[in-house]
Structure 1
Amino acid sequence: MPYQQGKGNRLPPERASKLGHLEVIQSELVQKLCKSFNDPEFVEHAGSVSKWEALPKDGAELKIIFSTDGSIQIIENPNPPFKAIAFVKSALLRVDQYAISKIDKDTPNPFALRDLMKESALYHSTAFPLRNVYIEGKTNYDAIREVLFESVKDKGLNDSLEGAMMETLKWIAYEKWLDVPKTELEKFGCPHCEKNVATLPFNEEKGKCPECNGEIFITDMFGLHQSMTDDYAPNQVASDYMGVSETLMIFTPIRFYWEKKREVLRNCLFVKDGPLSLRATLAKLSAPIRRFFEFAKSKGIDVAMIGQEKTGQFFDHLQLIGNAAPVGSCFIPDNKYIQEQIKHNNTTAIYGADTNYGAKLFVKMNDYHKMVINVPTGQRGEFVTSPSQEHLINFKNIVATLPKILSNKFEGALLPIELANKIASLSTYPSAKTLELFADKHKGNH
């Protein structure tokens, strides 16, 4: 490992010697091994490990589409004391099939896209002082906890959705769709005494720890404070918040219609960028979400939702098995297949049992539109280890709607996600430079 460049930039870094490569490539063992390496085309196991089946053809098209996406940009100063600020943006888009039908799927008019997004989009933005940037009188630990709380309470979405994400968080956490909701939150780690005794009574947003009497927020239930110290927070804190905000965004119209006019939900498709899952301590919301989908189904309301994975192990696996799959088919892997063929784990654990609120499946609409999607399942609110099409809530109507929202701009693209991404995106350039200038302007001497 070479010496690195000093932080003061006085001396250059040590360069790795190029002469060191010669001994490697001249080694007889290395040459012998390289000659034995092959690069065969992928061939599935005999008998076809993946079981593709025809997509249903008797569904009804869903007319109202909601989509959500999020973006994050970490601005880090490369010089001491290495200040870091995270900017997070998430967006919610509502469009109908009539509006989508007017968009050219091959060469969409940018002005038509602008008008569509201007009339139909909401977005939420926030910023976190991760390292060596502080709020007067507060440690980073306390400041970030308060930023998390105030961000979920954001009133900037628009006048009709003031505090919408907070109301949605309470709706999920307290399971307020039930005739008898939860009387208190599931216990979580107190950010002050660290004991797993913190909770809040029904519908409360903040209160006191029963053990140490320290102030706790409902957002502390996510446990993000567990990875922070008084003056340091990892980038993952901001990434996790983005996941929370995307989830709360997509469930806000679900909550609204459930409370005001739930019949509308029968004609809606909710599309989330990324998997239907919440990692680590955020997964406290996954089980209530699964229970909601099952409860809604028991009341005759099949809420249609999908999450699309555009990267990761499942996406990579689709590139291996998708070309040989028949057009108009899907493959729903069970836990055994996921662990052995995708995750390559030798374990008896159930993949996603605590974190996922949807089953993963591979779908091939045509030769140019293969995708990994997640669909909620209905089985008494429990995680389904071997899902089938019958477990996938409103799957027939989802399949009938997919051809109408495909985009030809990218392979496997869905237009609602593409549009939501345009609103939420904080690209590396020029957004990063703009945010960096903004951060420098506003951080003063702190």
Structure 2
Amino acid sequence: MPYQKSTRLPAERASKIGHLDVIKSPLVQQLIQDFNDPEYEDDLPTTDWQPLPTGGKELKLIFSSDGSIQEIEWPNPPYKALAFVKTALLKLDYYAIAKLDKDNPNPFALKDLMEKSALFHATAFPLRNVSITGKSIFNAIREIIFHSLKDQGKDDSLEGAMLETLKWLVYEKWKPNSNKKLDDFGCPHCLHETKQNHATLPFDQERGQCPNCHEEIFVSDVLGLHYSMVEDYAKKEVATDYMSVAETLMIFTPIRYFWTYDREVLKECLFIKDGPLSLRATLSKLAAPIRNFFKYAKEQGIEIAMIGQEKSGLFFDHLQLIGKSAPEHSIFIPNNDYIRKEVQHMNAEGTYGIHTNYGAKLFVKMDRYHKMVLNIPTGEKGEFVESPSAEHLIKIKDIAATLPKIISNRFEGALLPIEMANGVASLSTYPSAKALELFADGGKIT
């Protein structure tokens, strides 16, 4: 590895002729001769593509959520760093979507739709070498997470909805007469001292005291984001994980609202989340109550149509491999063995996603131009299913009937609701990053 650039001296440059020794090596020459490009078309894994289910009804009310993150780092010591997070929720009427040109939608029509139908939330996190009067970065970020979830939004548009949705999920308030306390979690103040993991809060409480150390704890601490921080340093993963939580709470907020005030509307809705229906690491504490909710809702006769779309990653890459030869208007639902062997290329035991996922993976090929990786909640009663089939996918027929109407031709495999939500939430590298950098540098950051 070369020496890096400093404020006084340039970086060490890599050798321009160093590759000659590699090329001349007899071992390297023999290895290159032995390497072959595999014939992928002749060696594809066995896949069970099935016709896209038919007979469903088109869903008329569509909600989509997306998020974006931008880290701002100063290039000189002490290398200060901030992270900005923005998430958006978009409500779209099926008839309004139908009027848009799928190839070249009128930008003014898109702007009008987004202005009338979008809510967004934004926050910022100090990651390192940024002082906050009277607080460590550790405690400051915990408070930022709590108060960000309570965000009222522009003109009180959010009304603290995300925190209410978090409480609705973790306290299982969707159940009648629920009195559930918060699931035990590691107290951010005393966990490392006591090695115990039983901080909690009574039903419906936003904040309280740890039963061990009596320090203040928040309901948002159940997410465990404090595990990625120390006293005066936080990893970027704190902001990334917060974005994942915010996207999830955004898409569940209209579900909470309709569940409370008019459940019949849920039968006409499609909820679309950018990214997989999963919550990694400590965030998985939120996945269990979500699965419980889908189970309970179905038992009450309310099936909720939700999809997550993966636009990158292992599953997306695998679809590019197997999708070319797949028949049009078909789906393939991989089981646990297939995912472990063919997608992850692992010999690991255990069930993929059993603690983190609240939806099953499926590959969808609509036509030669539109292939996508979707996630759909599963189970005859909403529980995790190791080897799902189409019958396990909640409202798959209605989802299949709606997909052709919301496809965008501007990008391969694109869904218009996600495309539009991304337009609201996006923080591009340029000019957004530069604007945020100038904003942060002009603020009172010391």
RMSD: 1.2
Amino acid at match of 1:121: A
Give the secondary-structure state (helix, strand or coil) at the position aligned to 2:85: strand
Amino acid at match of 2:76: N
Number of the residue aligned with 1:118: 115
1:34 aligns with 2:32: yes
Number of the residue aligned with 1:131: 128
1:429 aligns with 2:427: no
Query: Could you give the per-residue CA deviations for residues 384-408 of structure 1, whole angstroms, max 9, x where no partner exists?
Result: 1000011000000000000000000
Give the secondary-structure state (helix, strand or coil) at the position aligned to 1:12: coil
- 1:208 is displaced (CA, Å) by 0.2
Give the secondary-structure state (helix, strand or coil) at the position aligned to 1:43: helix
Give the secondary-structure state (helix, strand or coil) at the position aligned to 1:320: helix
- Structure 2: gaps spanning 5 or more residues: none
Give the secondary-structure state (helix, strand or coil) at the position aligned to 2:397: helix
Distance of 1:182 and 1:346 partners within structure 2: 42
Amino acid at match of 1:312: G
- 1:81 is displaced (CA, Å) by 1.0
Give the secondary-structure state (helix, strand or coil) at the position aligned to 1:190: coil
Number of the residue aligned with 1:277: 278
Contact 1:335 1:350 in 2 (8 A): yes
Number of the residue aligned with 1:78: 75
Distance of 1:78 and 1:317 partners within structure 2: 37
Query: Could you give the per-residue CA deviations for residues 259-299 of structure 1, whole angstroms, max 9, x where no partner exists?
Result: 00010000000000000000100000101101111111111
TM-score, normalised with respect to structure 2: 0.97
Query: Residue 106 of structure 2 is aligned with which of 105, 109, 129?
Result: 109
Number of the residue aligned with 1:15: 13
- 1:40 is displaced (CA, Å) by 3.2
Distance of 1:183 and 1:393 partners within structure 2: 26
- 1:182 is displaced (CA, Å) by 4.4
Distance of 2:89 and 2:381 partners within structure 1: 29
Distance of 1:181 and 1:358 partners within structure 2: 25
Give the secondary-structure state (helix, strand or coil) at the position aligned to 2:13: coil
1:292 aligns with 2:293: yes
Distance of 1:123 and 1:14 partners within structure 2: 44
Aligned residue runs from structure 1 range 331-350, under 5 A: 331-350=332-351
Number of the residue aligned with 1:243: 244
- 1:176 is displaced (CA, Å) by 0.8
- 1:157 is displaced (CA, Å) by 5.2
Aligned residue runs from structure 1 range 143-158, under 5 A: 143-156=140-153, 158=155
Amino acid at match of 2:214: N
Contact 1:87 1:128 in 2 (8 A): yes
Number of the residue aligned with 2:313: 312
- 1:158 is displaced (CA, Å) by 5.0
Distance of 2:380 and 2:201 partners within structure 1: 29
Contact 1:188 1:196 in 2 (8 A): yes
Number of the residue aligned with 2:2: 2
Give the secondary-structure state (helix, strand or coil) at the position aligned to 1:114: helix
Query: Could you give the per-residue CA deviations for residues 120-160 of structure 1, whole angstroms, max 9, x where no partner exists?
Result: 00000000111111221111111000000000000015545
CA shift in 2, pair 1:259/1:173, >3 Å: same
- 1:36 is displaced (CA, Å) by 2.0
Amino acid at match of 1:426: L
Number of the residue aligned with 1:168: 165
Give the secondary-structure state (helix, strand or coil) at the position aligned to 1:124: strand
Contact 1:44 1:321 in 2 (8 A): no
Distance of 1:128 and 1:3 partners within structure 2: 30
- 1:45 is displaced (CA, Å) by 4.7
Distance of 1:380 and 1:268 partners within structure 2: 20
Distance of 2:41 and 2:68 partners within structure 1: 37
Contact 1:224 1:281 in 2 (8 A): yes
Contact 1:122 1:158 in 2 (8 A): no
Contact 1:287 1:381 in 2 (8 A): no
Give the secondary-structure state (helix, strand or coil) at the position aligned to 1:398: helix
Query: Could you give the per-residue CA deviations for residues 318-368 of structure 1, whole angstroms, max 9, x where no partner exists?
Result: 000001100010000000000000001102211100000000000001110
Amino acid at match of 2:21: E
Contact 2:172 2:180 in 1 (8 A): no
Number of the residue aligned with 2:61: 64
Distance of 1:134 and 1:116 partners within structure 2: 40
Range moving further from structure 2, 312-321 or 33-42: 33-42
Give me the identity figure in percent.
66
Distance of 2:17 and 2:129 partners within structure 1: 41
Distance of 2:372 and 2:144 partners within structure 1: 36
How many residue pairs match? The answer is 442
CA shift in 2, pair 1:114/1:53, >3 Å: same
Range moving further from structure 2, 431-440 or 293-302: 293-302
Contact 2:72 2:436 in 1 (8 A): yes
Query: Could you give the per-residue CA deviations for residues 13-56 of structure 1, whole angstroms, max 9, x where no partner exists?
Result: 2222222211110112211211222223313658x611100111
Range moving further from structure 2, 216-225 or 177-186: 177-186
Distance of 2:34 and 2:333 partners within structure 1: 36
Number of the residue aligned with 1:329: 330
Contact 2:298 2:382 in 1 (8 A): no
